[in-house]
Amino acid sequence: QPQDDWALSLLNEFNATITICLHRLTSVSSSFRSHAQGLVEMQRACLYSHALIDYVEILRPRMSAQHASKQSRTERRMGAFVWNDDHALSLFSAGLPVYYVRLFSDFDRQNI
């Protein structure tokens, strides 16, 4: 789909990072610290790829749905702190935990 070109571009970038890191880890002799850094970089690219695929295939369709569907309670997702109403609603519609942050000044007329 044309609207997913940005996602494909990011996945290609993450794939290139994984390939470079894997080549470096398997063929270059270096210190333990350098290998650990390469492994961390490769893991980061793998996790970003997995998160991007989840977003494109699972979360974005939920966010664009007219009615929020009931989510499975076994699904484990990290929540997000948001300050914007629209972002909070979109993430909530996707079934993600949302922590809506408001400024202290927003409560100036409320008795707590």
Report the predicted TM-score, pTM, of the whole model to 2 decimal places.
Answer: 0.69
Candidate ranges 21-25, 67-71, 79-83; pick with highest mean pLDDT:
21-25
C-alpha 62 chain-centroid distance: 15
Domain termination residue (choose one: 32, 48, 64)? 64
Indicate the pLDDT class of residue 11, thresholds 50, 70 and 90: very high
Domain termination residue (choose one: 31, 49, 64)? 64
With 90 as the cut, is the pLDDT of residue 105 above it? no
Instruction: Answer yes or no: do 54 and 77 share one domain.
Output: no
Instruction: Answer yes or no: do 37 and 75 share one domain.
Output: no
Instruction: Answer yes or no: do 3 and 49 share one domain.
Output: yes
Instruction: Answer yes or no: do 44 and 17 share one domain.
Output: yes
DSSP string, 12-63: HHHHHHHHHHHHHHHH----HHHHHHHHHHHHHHHHHHHHHHHIIIIIHHHH
With 60 as the cut, is the pLDDT of residue 73 above it? no
With 80 as the cut, is the pLDDT of residue 30 above it? yes
Instruction: Answer yes or no: do 55 and 87 share one domain.
Output: no
Distance CA 81, CA 97 (A): 9
Among 27-31, 47-51, 63-67, 72-76, the minimum mean pLDDT is found in: 72-76
Domain encompassing residue 8: 1-64
Going by C-alpha positions, the residue among 49, 45, 55 that lies closest to residue 20 is: 45
Instruction: Answer yes or no: do 10 and 59 share one domain.
Output: yes
